[in-house]
Amino acid sequence: MKLDVDVLRYLTKEDFRVLTAVEMGMRNHEIVPAELVERIAALKHGGTYKVMKNLLKHKLLHHDASKYDGFRLTYLGYDFLAIKTLVNRGVFSAVGRQLGVGKESDIFEVATEDGTVMAMKLHRLGRTSFRAVKSKRDYLKHRSSFNWLYLSRLAALREFSFMKALQEHGFPVPNAVDCNRHCVIMSLVPGYPLVQVKQLENPEIVFNTIIGLVVRLTEHGLIHCDFNEFNIMIDDDEKITMIDFPQMVSVSHRNAQMYFDRDVECVFKFFSKRFNMSFHECTADIDGTAVDTDDSGRPSFTSIAKDTGFLDKELSASGFTRKDQEEIAKFIEGGIKKDASSDDEDTEDDEHISMLNEANTMGVDSLHVADQTLQHDEQVESEGNVRTCEAGPSSEP
Ligand code: ADP
Ligand code: MG
């Protein structure tokens, strides 16, 4: 199956109208009956069916007749909706090579007209853990809005909100540029994930900077929860940037201490193994003040954590409801992680990645999407849930 930009470039206004209709239907249907798609899209002369056929052909929709006959968006379909919206907003105009495949995301380069390159993170919450959770039927019984679309969007919004807030508080994080659906646009971080680094000029300085970060986060009321060598970027000057925070929790979380200790332990373990460091005392300091540590030199959670309300405040400012926070927290805790089984969802996903990669080998220019067809944007802008990152779909029964 071959896919390239041509698909995005040649999708018509009607195509996007139908794609958006399926997305809207998915707010309260796991699979959207064709009649509902037709009703929402309201194309003249029953054009919806023809369009759906085209979308199926390009794997933007998936036909599912397992429970009843209907359609759902594929990851790719959802990607296209987000990409098109962001292109229409003028955030970027081209998609380039893949930068990374995370556990629950795909990261691509994107570029603006003037050649500025940024990073686009497409959240795939549910890729590894959705089925694990789905199997717990009880847990889902009362949650019609539960699906990967919702979770991925929530994860993106969380990440975007945290990134912005952290940036404003002087933390070394990427610059949060924009967010739509499950997609976050941020500045490109120079360097590599720490896990790829075999040698450091100043391992002690780097170590203390990193532990200092964990501590300073905690002083602001936050715990990263996935703080490790995969989520710390380092450049040639050994400057650190922290990435990947949709899963952060408040220090008032009931398992806060455990998450904090785990984050700290990851860093200690990595530095001791990789750089052969031994730790008698953690010298991490914040503004010249030494950090309280326990006997093993690890920073001590109880003496650092102060619930400043930072998390709640910042999140509610970005339109997060407490329910949203609880939903994702439940998911993150309940679903974690790794469901190794592979079924058609995985196959479809692998195929999607290979399709995107195939497109990427064609280079940034060939993926240029800012052409005339993208001027047909009112549909996505006006009927999609766009403009601002909203906090998940309405959860009507
Ligand atoms: P996941 O949540 O799936 O682990 P991450 O945010 O950790 O996703 O990103 C996965 C990988 O993508 C990172 O390890 C890094 O190599 C790359 N990456 C992520 N964000 C950026 C960025 N802003 N700039 C450059 N590379 C990035
Ligand atoms: Mg990561």
The interface pTM score, or ipTM, of the predicted complex is 0.99
Q: Which of 206-215, 251-260, 343-352 has the highest mean pLDDT?
A: 206-215
Q: Which residue type occupies 31?
A: I
Taking the centre of ligand 1 as the mean of its atom positions, its distance from the CA of residue 106, in whole angstroms, is 8
Q: Is 178 a catalytic residue?
A: no
CATH assignment, 192-335: 1.10.510.10
Dist CA 13 CA 15 (whole Å): 5
**Could you tell me the CATH superfamily of domain 93-187?**
Phosphorylase Kinase; domain 1 (3.30.200.20)
Range with lowest mean pLDDT among 42-51, 158-167, 253-262, 370-379: 370-379
Q: Using 50, 70 and 90 to split pLDDT, how confident is the model at 46?
A: confident
> How confident is residue 310, by pLDDT bands cut at 50, 70 and 90?
low
Ligand 1 near 172 CB (within 6 A): no
Distance 240 CA to ligand 2 centre (A): 15
pLDDT digits (tens, 9 = 90+) for 89-102: 999 998 988 888 87
Do the Cβ atoms of 8 and 77 come closer than 8 Å? no
Percent of the chain with pLDDT over 70: 67
CB of 71 within 8 A of CB of 63? yes
Nearest atom in ligand 1 to the alpha carbon of residue 103 is 3
Query: In this structure, what are the phi and psi dihedrals at residue 395, rounded to the nearest 5 degrees?
Result: -110, 50
Residue showing tokens 């029964």: 397
Give the domain ranges of the chain: 5-81+342-357+366-382, 93-187, 192-335
Q: Is the CB of 99 under 6 A from ligand 1?
A: yes
Q: What is the pLDDT of residue 239?
A: 97
Higher pLDDT, 117 or 347: 117
122: left (phi over 0), alpha (psi -120 to 50) or beta: beta
* Residue 329 pLDDT class (50, 70, 90 cuts): low
> Considering just the CA atoms, what is the radius of gyration of the chain in Å?
22
Q: Please state the rounded mean pLDDT for residues 370-384.
A: 33
What is the structure's pLDDT at 125?
Answer: 76
Q: Which of 226, 263, 324, 377 is catalytic?
A: 226
Name the amino acid, one letter, at 37: V
Q: How many CA atoms lie within 13 A of 187 on its CB side?
A: 14
Cα of 271 from ligand 2 centre, angstroms: 18
The helix, strand and coil proportions of the chain, stated in percent and rounded to the nearest 5, come to 45, 15, 40
The candidate with the shortest Cα–Cα distance to 361, out of 3, 73, 96, 77, is 96
The secondary structure of residue 271, as a DSSP letter, is H
Q: Quote the pLDDT of residue 6.
A: 53
Q: Same CATH fold, 93-187 and 5-81+342-357+366-382? A: no
Q: Say which residue, 284 or 41, is predicted with more confidence.
A: 41
Which of these ranges, 74-83, 126-135, 384-393, has the smallest mean pLDDT?
A: 384-393
Task: Determine whether domain 5-81+342-357+366-382 maps to CATH 1.10.10.10.
Answer: yes
Rounded-to-integer distance, Cα 177 and Cα 95, Å: 15
CA distance 274 to 254: 32
Pairing of strands 183-187, 249-250: unpaired
CA 324/CA 158 separation, integer angstroms: 10
Measured from the Cα of 243, ligand 1's closest atom is: 6
User: What is the pLDDT of the chain when averaged over all its residues?
Assistant: 75
| Dist. CA 325 → ligand 1 center (Å) | 23
Which residues is 64 bridged to in the sheet?
Answer: 70
Ligand 1: which of 92, 188, 243 to mutate, judged by most atoms within 8 Å of the beta carbon? 243
- What per-residue confidence (pLDDT) applies to 318? 56
- Span 102-115, pLDDT tens digits: 778 899 999 999 99
Position 8 pLDDT exceeds 90: no
CA 231 to ligand 1: nearest atom: 7
If 0-12 CB within 10 Å is exposed, 13-18 middle and 19+ buried, where does residue 2 land? exposed
Give pLDDT, residue 78.
93
Cα torsion through 92, 96, 102, 105, rounded to 10 = 40
Tell me which residue has tokens 């996505």.
Answer: 380
Q: How would residue 261 be classed by pLDDT, with cut points 50, 70 and 90?
A: very high
Res. 207 pLDDT band, cuts 50 70 90: very high
Question: Does 244 contact ligand 1 (Cβ within 6 A)?
Answer: yes
CA of 330 to the centre of ligand 2 (A): 19
User: Which amino acid is present at 246?
Assistant: P
Distance from the Cα of residue 366 to its chain's centroid:
25
Distance of CA 320 to the CA centre of its chain: 16
Q: Whose CA is nearest to atom 17 of ligand 1?
A: 100
Beta strands in the chain (DSSP E): 61-64, 70-73, 94-101, 105-111, 117-123, 176-180, 183-187, 192-193, 222-223, 232-234, 240-242, 249-250, 285-286, 289-290
Structure-token pair, residue 1? 């199956």
Instruction: State whether residue 350 is helix, strand or coil.
Output: helix
Highest mean pLDDT among 15-24, 150-159, 319-328: 15-24
Q: 113-170: per-residue pLDDT in tens?
A: 999 999 999 998 765 544 444 444 333 444 433 477 888 888 898 899 889 989 988 9
